[in-house]
Amino acid sequence: NIPAISEHVFEVVDPTFASRAREAGGGFVVGGHNYGQGSSREHAALAPMYLGLKAVLVKSFARIHLANLINFGILPLTFENEADYDKIEQGDNLEIPVADLSSGKLTVKNASKNIQIPAQHPLNEREIAIIKAGGALAYAKEQS
């Protein structure tokens, strides 16, 4: 029951996350090292996707969770400079240009503070296509 599970996304660290994500129609998650560690279940990416999450910007990813994010169409980004993590606060409006992901690098704009944050992603061409399609199922449907 994904709608019920989604009510508990990040509730330990932010009890308001699910309601704020629904109200905003999605958004970003900003995190630290080894983001996603401890859960190899698809639900750890599926429930945030259900809430409209579009991207995750972190210091580093747990390997299996990274793959799950890609499969559910959530853009996995890491900080080029980990100290930039401290430049983002809950509620900041973050924007990314997703038109061209081929270089592996892009700039996240913190529109709330008018600053640019260099980021990168580990995606290959196929994974970029999966992200742009909205996830692995949508990508497979496009290919058939």
Mean pLDDT, each 10-residue run in order, the chain (144 residues): 90 92 89 86 87 95 94 96 97 84 92 97 96 94 91
Provide the number of structural domains found in the chain. 1
Yes or no: say if 121 and 106 are a contact pair by the CB < 8 Å rule. Answer: yes
- DSSP code of residue 35: B
Domain that holds residue 137: 2-143
pTM: 0.92
The pLDDT assigned to 43 comes to 85
Q: Where do we find the tokens 């900003």?
A: 30
What beta strand segments (E) does the chain contain? Answer: 27-31, 53-58, 75-79, 94-95, 105-110, 115-120
Check which CATH number belongs to the domain holding 121 and give it.
3.20.19.10
The pLDDT assigned to 132 comes to 93
58-70 residues labelled b (16+ CB within 10 A) or e (exposed): bbbbbebbbbbbb
